Amino acid sequence: MTTTAQRTRTTSYVNAILEAQRQLLTADPNVFLCGEDVALYGGVFGTSRGLMAEFGPQRVVDTPISESGIVGMAIGAAATGLRPVVEIMFMDFVGVCMDQIVNQLAKMRYMFGGKATLPVTIRTMAGGGRNMAAQHSQSLEAWFCHVPGLKVVMPSNPYDAKGLLVAAVRDDDPVLVIDNKMQLGMQGEVPEDLYEVPLGKARVVREGTNFTIVATSRMVQEALAAAEQLGADGLNVEVVDPRTLQPLDIETIATSVRKTHRALVAHEAVRFGGIGGEIVAQIQEEAFDYLDAPVGRVGAPFSPVPFSPALEALYVPNRDTIVTEVRRILGKQV
């Protein structure tokens, strides 16, 4: 659990991931990393840089280009007592190993009557913004939130990136940790010591009184910027970061909505069928009598992610998209 007495300093999101993995490898001999280019190259995003030299090729393992094989290996290793941390380079590539994740990893503990534990952590990178086009820019978290047996985590800052990853690796169930490429250079205060951010616990990032924005991953920063902009309209916006999408801390979200009476959910994924729809439904189940307006949603258009920088800038939601939707919701009440 997180403590307030830990020494903190400012570091980057990517270094927070690297540090978490180094400390986990040091603390637990059953932890190992595996994936494409994680060892010699140090990961395409630098999240395992230097770890093979420190821990050796049996703890930091370069694998063939076979996502199905990588996850299958991790399932077998976890069932026999190890704690694999798997890197799937881009979230788009989970399509190659969906059977292993959805029909094996998520279900084995249930099918074996609890006699097998599957402490597998799958790390991957989602989101657009780097002009990597339709096959390297998707946000597919809703797929996995729909599968019983899986936990799904989306950090929004360096502190949570480290703490949630530590909690995921220590958890006895499979956890997907979904980072956003555009946040890797983000700076923030991170304790030097090993610590956990509890899975399934949301955080109120900004206190407010008359509007709630629930935002995930990179959209948390966009929501905070939108909240500042909306302050000029006399609106005092509260921003809630779920941090874990499965299990979802609906009580923290509903408590906020009961206070503010208006809400919007923002994510980078395609709006249709996104996790935002589930959060909206649960808000209306838990706090319907407190709502003064329908709950809004912000997400990407129903289209593949464009390669063109100009089109991608229009595609990915941002603070302006959020501000526009908030004003639309408020305008319905006039």
Q: Residues with catalytic annotation?
A: 67, 136
Supply the DSSP string of 189-254, one letter for each residue.
EEESS-----TT--EEEE--SSEEEEE-TTHHHHHHHHHHHHGGGT--EEEEE-SEEETT-HHHHH
User: Crossing angle of helices 275-287/250-260, nearest 10°?
Assistant: 60
Q: Prior bond to 247 cis, omega within 30?
A: yes
Distance (Å, rounded) from C-alpha 94 to C-alpha 140? 9
Distance (Å, rounded) from C-alpha 12 to C-alpha 194? 16
Q: Helices marked H in the chain — which ranges?
A: 13-27, 51-55, 67-79, 98, 108-111, 141-145, 158-170, 219-230, 250-260, 275-287, 309-315, 319-331
Distance (Å, rounded) from C-alpha 57 to C-alpha 48? 12
Whether residue 55 contacts residue 48, with contact meaning beta carbons closer than 8 Å, is answered with no
- Work out the end-to-end distance of the chain between its first and last CA atoms, rounded to an integer number of angstroms: 46
Distance (Å, rounded) from C-alpha 55 to C-alpha 85? 14
Distance (Å, rounded) from C-alpha 6 to C-alpha 249? 26
